[in-house]
Amino acid sequence: MSNTEKINLLNLNRAGLEGFFVDLGEKPFRAKQLMQWVHQRGVTDFAQMTDMSKELRKKLSQKACIAFPIISSTQQSKDGTRKWLLSVDGTENAIECVLIPEKSRTTLCISSQVGCTLNCSFCSTGKQGFNRNLTTAEIIAQLHLVHHGLLREGRKQGVTNVVMMGMGEPLLNFDAVMAAVDMMCDDYGYALSKRRVTISTAGVVPAIKKLNQVTDVSLAVSLHAPNDALREQLVPLNRKYPIRELFDACRVYIDGRKNRKITFEYVMLKGVNDSLAHARELAKLIGSIPCKLNLIPFNPYPYAIYQCSDTTTIDRFRETVSSKGIITVTRRARGEDIDAACGQLVGQFKDRSRRSQKYQIELEQIGKISHAC
């Protein structure tokens, strides 16, 4: 039996593994044992799982596998940021994940889709189009490969924080993402605090409401504009789920959860959303909800139609919002020299949406115009 015919156990959280073992005629506690071997110790060879009987290990080798994406390439930035390109369908599709090391923590930015369906106007990922959702195995494998890779390098600790802010919209791949998040937070998995796992969304309102019913991990919302008119230009999803509906869902998400805040992300685009009037409007908008604000300097990519706001403008914007009592931080750009910064991840994949073809035609037209000039 080939690996493609076997059950990839990385697709199963603890509840899924318990059902798998019961179907094998085993006790549910075997799920905890397997999770400890795979996720905590980094052991993926059933033969080495010595607290299980030889007969059970033989069954596992016949019916199951632990299969990972292939690491196609790795890059390291001058600031220490690292990026992995992982092949998930042979050579046809590949995704990217990014490790951001800091003194007190090590954060892994994980992808949830091959491409992205949302096509936010300032994001390079969206320009590449969309192929498919990632499986739970492909999502959790990003954490497994990086976390245990760091430990094998002799690091004292592996990944301490996870942000679902890589390629794709996590809440449009809800079930697979949540199963992976379960493993991240499970005491027999990676045992990450729910405050150390962040799901970022552009504002899929029904999924935020559904998320509220199953978890209380940290929530980040890609806002980027203080009103519907401007946000619809930057984040097309706003036409379906306007700011009022989005904020209602956010309030429900943190209601009754002590000391919890929504993190709003706001990319700084020169002359577009960075005026002091925008800052005052934004402060009034988000001041109605427990939150903090991350200002993200725009990270350029070839033929982008936007530019980053200058440092003085960003500082004044931050001071204006902060003066209203809102925690406001300017995020330091990391990994720009290896295209690992926010909005720069593109991977390599076959675009089923044909958006990348349209974008390529636009680029060719721009090139012709530039050449003519």
Helix 311-322 crosses helix 276-286 at what angle (to 10 degrees)?
Answer: 30
Which residue is listed with tokens 């990026």? 83
For 20-40, give one letter per residue: b (16+ CB within 10 A) or e.
Answer: bbeeeebeeebbbbbbbbbbb
Distance, in Å, from the CA atom of 147 to the CA atom of 38, rounded to the nearest integer, reads 12
What is the rounded end-to-end Cα distance, in angstroms, of the chain? 61
In single-letter form, the type of residue at position 231 comes to R
Catalytic residues: 96, 342
Distance, in Å, from the CA atom of 223 to the CA atom of 227, rounded to the nearest integer, reads 9
The burial of 345, by beta-carbon neighbours within 10 Å (0-12 exposed, 13-18 middle, 19 or more buried), is given as: buried
The burial of 59, by beta-carbon neighbours within 10 Å (0-12 exposed, 13-18 middle, 19 or more buried), is given as: middle
DSSP 318-371: HHHHHTTT-EEEEPPP--GGGT-STT----B---SS-HHHHHHHHHHHHHHHHH
